[in-house]
C-alpha cells in the first residue's frame, strides 16, 4: 500500500505563549504569532533489508510532499530497514545496519532529497 496524505493545519504555534506580549493574548496577538502550515504523512510498502529501494521511495515521497506545499513530512518508524525484520536479526546484523548520525548514508540521502525538492 502506498499512501501520501497532506494535511493543512489551521494554526501552529510559531513561538511559545510565554514569548507573547501577555499570558493570555487576544485573537489578533494569536494571529501574529501563528501561521498556517502543511504537513504530509507517508505509509508505504517497504522492502525488508533493501535500504536502497526504501530510500528511493523516501526520495519520491519527499518530492511529492514538496510539490504539494508540505513543510513537514513524517515517515513510519524504521521504514528504511523494516521493523519486524530487525527484531529477528543477530546483534552483528543489527550493527551492520547501523549508521553514524549525521554522516550516515540514510541521513545524507534524505537530506539531499529535501534540498533537491526545495
Q: How confident is the model at residue 10 (pLDDT cuts 50, 70, 90)?
A: very low
User: Residue 28, class by beta-carbon neighbours within 10 Å (0-12 exposed, 13-18 middle, 19+ buried)?
Assistant: exposed
Return the residue matching grid coordinates 494535511. 7
7 pLDDT higher than 70: no
Looking at the DSSP bridge assignments, the partners of residue 42 are 4
Is the separation of the CB atoms in 106 and 99 below 8 Å? yes
Read off the DSSP letter of residue 47.
P
Q: Give the separation between CA 27 and CA 64, rounded to whole angstroms.
A: 34
If you classify domain 3-117 with CATH, what class do you get? Answer: alpha beta
Cβ-in-10-Å burial (0-12, 13-18, 19+) of 6 comes to middle
Round to whole Å and give the CA distance between 80 and 97.
10
Task: Using the predicted structure, report yes or no on whether residue 109 has a pLDDT greater than 60.
Answer: yes
Record the pTM: 0.68
Residue 3 near residue 43, CB atoms below 8 Å: yes
pLDDT digits (tens, 9 = 90+) for 41-68: 999 988 887 889 999 999 999 999 999 9
Q: Parse the chain into domains and list their residue ranges.
A: 3-117
**How many angstroms from the chain centroid is the CA of residue 13?**
19
Amino acid at each position: 500500500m502506498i499512501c501520501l496524505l497532506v494535511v493543512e493545519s489551521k494554526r501552529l504555534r510559531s513561538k511559545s505563549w510565554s514569548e507573547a506580549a501577555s499570558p493570555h493574548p487576544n485573537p489578533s496577538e494569536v494571529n501574529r504569532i501563528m501561521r498556517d502550515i502543511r504537513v504530509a504523512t507517508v505509509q508505504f510498502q517497504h522492502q525488508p533489508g533493501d535500504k536502497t529501494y526504501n530510500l528511493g521511495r523516501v526520495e519520491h515521497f519527499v518530492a511529492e510532499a514538496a510539490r504539494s506545499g508540505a513543510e513537514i513530512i513524517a515517515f513510519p518508524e524504521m521504514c528504511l530497514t523494516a521493523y519486524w525484520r530487525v527484531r529477528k536479526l543477530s546483534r552483528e546484523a543489527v550493527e551492520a545496519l547501523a549508521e553514524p548520525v549525521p554522516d550516515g548514508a540514510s541521513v545524507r540521502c534524505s537530506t539531499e532529497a529535501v534540498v533537491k525538492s526545495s
